[in-house]
Structure 1
Amino acid sequence: MPIVAVRQVSAVAMREQTIVAGLFAALLVAFAARYGYHRDELYFLAAGRRLDWGYPDQPPLTPLLARTMSAIDPDSLLLLRLPSIAVATFIVVCAGLMAREFGGGRGAQALASASVAAAALVMGVGHLLTTTSFDMAVWSSVCLLVLKLLRDPVGDGVADSAASRSGDVRRQVGADPGWWLVIGLVIGVGLQNKLLLIFPVGALVLALVLIGPRKIFATKFFPMAVGIAALIWLPYLWWQAENGWPQWEMGRAIAGGSSGTSDSPVAFVLLQFGLMGPLLVPLWAFGLWLLWRAVRYRAFAVAYVLMFVVFVTTGGKAYYMGGMYPILLAAASVPVAAWLGRRRMRWAAVGSALAVNALVSAVLSLPVLPISALPDSPVLAVNYDAGETIGWPEFVRRVADARAGLGADVAVLTADSGAAGAIERFGGQYGLPTPHSGHNAYWWWGPPSDAAAVVIAVGIERDHLVRFFRDIEPAGRIDNGFDIDNDEQGRPIFRCRAPRAAWPQLWPQLKHLG
């Protein structure tokens, strides 16, 4: 194919990918400010007010972004979520670029982008400011860059002979080992977002070492990349070392089921068929099979299997596998697009399936339904996070009611970091003090003052409080007002007096990670 023609085809493909990405971003923006803050976002905002090189449960990147967005406009939920919208849109574009690396032309690239844009998990992580959205974007970047290192200048990637005959493939130039430096930079930044990145990186490196092609490591740029990643990651490692490596304790707690999104091994397996949406299962399963068959790309299929085994046996969450699906969908899109060819009816059928998958994904992953319709819908059963974005202003008002009429020397103690973050965000209008909690980073931020005459305990059961206070008085229960069954609904509020010891002695007993 002449160079001019190749450039024209690439430009058309990019235009189609841009349209898909633009529609996807517009959808996320349209629903970004509905419902309210997620408990993790409230915690990120609190962590951002106390910037550090690390936290017991996470690196500093997401809290830094939360602080940056809130500094621009502290009341804009849309602005807070713009970074996640941007990186989720990048994942959509990246899928098309991966299809291009596999040898796919405009049809394959558009199909790959549209498939990822229709995926439930990608919509979900793009809706909230969460470490998962950046983790998926980083891993998509790494996959794309490794594909560049695996380039075969004479092969057609995963494209089959039918794709070649249809003209829906592109010739590639040889690999440039200098891409290792970019990979090192991306992984280093990714490790400042989430420690989970170690697992896919380790799985892919191990797969490449075991089955090849090993020659991609035979360059001076590989150790340089390792050095770049380690240097960027070093401040966080230093913080963890200085504080007793709490991230490991956090990992054990999550594996033990302490998180609201923890999964049993059976649930982990079954949820893999819903992460992207049921209608996309045949496509990504086909992509996994194709990668296994293609010797040059088999390491990605092996990495998927290694990650699956590790996470299902160690109590990982189902969405930990999410970063692998864009490359599986991209691989499958090349021969599928070739099979579709120029047959409009086939494209219409595939497009309809993607549209249905996108519609169902949007209803389940985005705040499409009115809050009043949620209790009678399957959304809360499928999407735990939806319930955690509802009722925080009312939650804080209930805490304020429990504090009303008391003197100035009052402290607030919550069961979890999300509740404490909500009080920090909405408590100013009621004159509530900065809250305390033994959960995650809040424990590091210290106990209440011994001068506090009354402690408002939120969400902590009486049986636990009697270990710390002699006088415990009921002060109501949390009710979000929407009959939404979330982590705070129905929890007790107590007014506590007469602590059994000074707070420096009591505080170590309240520490918990999860």
Structure 2
Amino acid sequence: MERPLAWRSVTVIAVLLFGALLALSPWYGYHRDELYFRVLSEHPAWGYVDQPPLTPLLAGAGVGLFGDTVTGIRVFPALAVAVLVWLVALITRELDGGRLAQAVAAAGTATGAYTLIAGHTLLTLSFDLPLWAAAILFLLKALLREQEPRWWLAAGAVIGLATYNKHLIALLVLGLAAGLLLAGPRRALRSPWLWAGAALALALAVPNLLYQVTNDWPQLKMAAALSADKGAELRVLFVPMQLTLFGPAVSVIAVFGFVRLWRDRRVRALAVAYPVAAALTLLSGGRFDYTGGLILLLFAAGCVTVGAAARRARWWAVAGLAASGLCSAVLALPLVPVADLAATPVPGLNEVARESVGWPAFVAAVQEARRAIPPAEQATAVVFTGSYGEHGALVRAGVPRVYSGHNQLWLYGPPPDTGTTAVLVNVGPRARAQFGSCEQRATVDNGAGLENEEQGLGVWLCRGLRTPWSVSWPRWRHFS
């Protein structure tokens, strides 16, 4: 018999999370990815060289519906993690968790560090987590309710749609396939409904895949560039970050969840899916958060164990989650004043916070360099940035003729050949050597003493372009 749903407590947790995220949303500033997605949303497409179209689409929808502000672009991420809280509670219920287990799962998910980061800032992660949770919920229903095999179709539909946000959903599919082959139940592989679900997922993903094929698989090139750039560092950080993605208490409970899933032959395949996905991530040099969706599954299963444990064990679990949640809030949310941020460990642990500070100062430094150009010359001068965040910040501020060779932005060039005078930022000596003369006209200072990607950058005014942009443009392209 299906357990009662703890709808009141789960709804309260989800609503409080949504409200808190929106209230705190403007306390720092845009993250560089948000500025990039805002630009991409103005160029709708079936895909981009570094990602599928869903997150940029939702960035544009947020701006259009709620205003071109930091809060406006963050409404959908906050809503997405509120939905995530509900989905994890439903996963807990599906695994035979009662009201207490569901409430603990909802609260632990809502206060997890990565949940808070994903809900506070518009990132691909913001929508990947609920998409994975929905797919896992339907996979559980298909495995646990053999008399209702149509759930394979629901799982296939979500998996197909998830490819429009990130292709990482393939890790879940590969992990499940390996789990079914290694641990069973292998009879599921003989179900026509499973294969119908797989066909539906593939059919929904076809336009996305066609974009990749017709554009020479740009995401594979992007993945290779990321692995070459930071693969070794990410492998070193993988295990420590698995223990801290959602907080240490979540990780401890997730261990009990793994044991619980492993002991249940019906869903053992999903227990196997986590180590398989982890191994594939390590081999590819991928990011440590790629397994986040499966960690939440293990946590949900562990909450069932917590709900059935003795009173003292439940108290320790809840206390641990509360302490972990407080630490996560300080780490993930803009609670520390900007002026004090550099003196705390937060910038070193949370890249999103670190890279959300200083954009007005960056724009002011570029504008200072542009003002040094005489009006007649300024009419044709261009601005070139080395990063998509810098490009997005300048476009957001209304700076004209801004270009970049970073990822998708290279396709929006080249600058006009008349732009022989340029303001360059975040480029090296080789790029400046393309001009007859260059002089540094400003230095970026965020005013908070915070070391991030923009702090200390020189802003250069360069004249006398040696080779026309239309000829040299391929040399300006880079992936990272």
Question: TM bucket by the smaller chain?
Answer: over 0.9
Matched, 1:402 2:369: yes
Q: Which residue of 2 aligns with 1:238?
A: 210
Percent sequence identity is 37
Contact (CA 8 Å) 2:234, 2:288: kept in 1 or not? no
Contact (CA 8 Å) 1:34, 1:367: kept in 2 or not? yes
Residue-by-residue CA offset, 1:208-227 (whole Å, 9 max, x unaligned): 13321122333333333223
Cα deviation for residue 181 of structure 1 reads 1.7
Q: Which residue of 2 aligns with 1:88?
A: 81
Contact (CA 8 Å) 1:177, 1:216: kept in 2 or not? no
Alignment equivalent of 2:47, drawn from 49, 54, 58:
54
Q: Mean alpha-carbon deviation: is it higher for 227-236 or for 298-307?
A: 227-236
CA distance in 2, matches of 1:337, 1:257: 44
Letter of the 1:411 partner, please give it: V
Residue-by-residue CA offset, 1:420-476 (whole Å, 9 max, x unaligned): 0111111x2xxx21311110000011111101131110111224421x222222122
Counterparts in 2 of 1:4-23, with a 5 A limit?
Answer: 10-11=4-5, 13-23=6-16
Counterparts in 2 of 1:101-500, with a 5 A limit?
Answer: 101-151=94-144, 175-258=147-230, 263-340=233-310, 343=311, 347-406=314-373, 407-426=378-397, 428=398, 432-466=399-433, 468-500=434-466
Q: Which residue of 1 aligns with 2:20?
A: 27
Contact (CA 8 Å) 2:348, 2:354: kept in 1 or not? no
Q: SS of the residue aligned with 1:453?
A: coil
CA distance in 2, matches of 1:356, 1:26: 21
Cα deviation for residue 348 of structure 1 reads 4.3
CA distance in 1, matches of 2:185, 2:176: 12
Letter of the 1:247 partner, please give it: Q
Contact (CA 8 Å) 2:113, 2:329: kept in 1 or not? yes
CA distance in 2, matches of 1:268, 1:350: 25
Contact (CA 8 Å) 1:263, 1:317: kept in 2 or not? no
CA distance in 2, matches of 1:349, 1:213: 35
CA distance in 1, matches of 2:174, 2:421: 50
Letter of the 2:356 partner, please give it: T
Change (3 A) 1:19 1:346: farther
Q: SS of the residue aligned with 1:295?
A: coil
Change (3 A) 1:175 1:20: farther
Cα deviation for residue 86 of structure 1 reads 1.3
CA distance in 2, matches of 1:507, 1:453: 13
Alignment equivalent of 1:36, drawn from 5, 29, 34:
29
Q: SS of the residue aligned with 2:342?
A: helix
Letter of the 1:56 partner, please give it: V
CA distance in 2, matches of 1:503, 1:113: 54
Cα deviation for residue 351 of structure 1 reads 2.7
CA distance in 1, matches of 2:364, 2:205: 41
Contact (CA 8 Å) 2:156, 2:201: kept in 1 or not? yes
Contact (CA 8 Å) 1:149, 1:179: kept in 2 or not? yes
CA distance in 2, matches of 1:63, 1:27: 24
Cα deviation for residue 389 of structure 1 reads 0.8
Contact (CA 8 Å) 1:149, 1:177: kept in 2 or not? yes
CA distance in 1, matches of 2:316, 2:201: 44
Cα deviation for residue 258 of structure 1 reads 4.9
Aligned residue-pair number: 476
Letter of the 1:296 partner, please give it: R
CA RMSD of aligned residues (A): 1.8
Cα deviation for residue 78 of structure 1 reads 1.8
Cα deviation for residue 175 of structure 1 reads 4.1
CA distance in 2, matches of 1:116, 1:263: 27
CA distance in 2, matches of 1:216, 1:39: 44
CA distance in 2, matches of 1:230, 1:446: 33
Contact (CA 8 Å) 2:238, 2:282: kept in 1 or not? yes
Structure 1 length-normalised TM: 0.89
Cα deviation for residue 402 of structure 1 reads 0.4
CA distance in 2, matches of 1:479, 1:61: 34
CA distance in 2, matches of 1:66, 1:505: 33
CA distance in 2, matches of 1:84, 1:151: 31
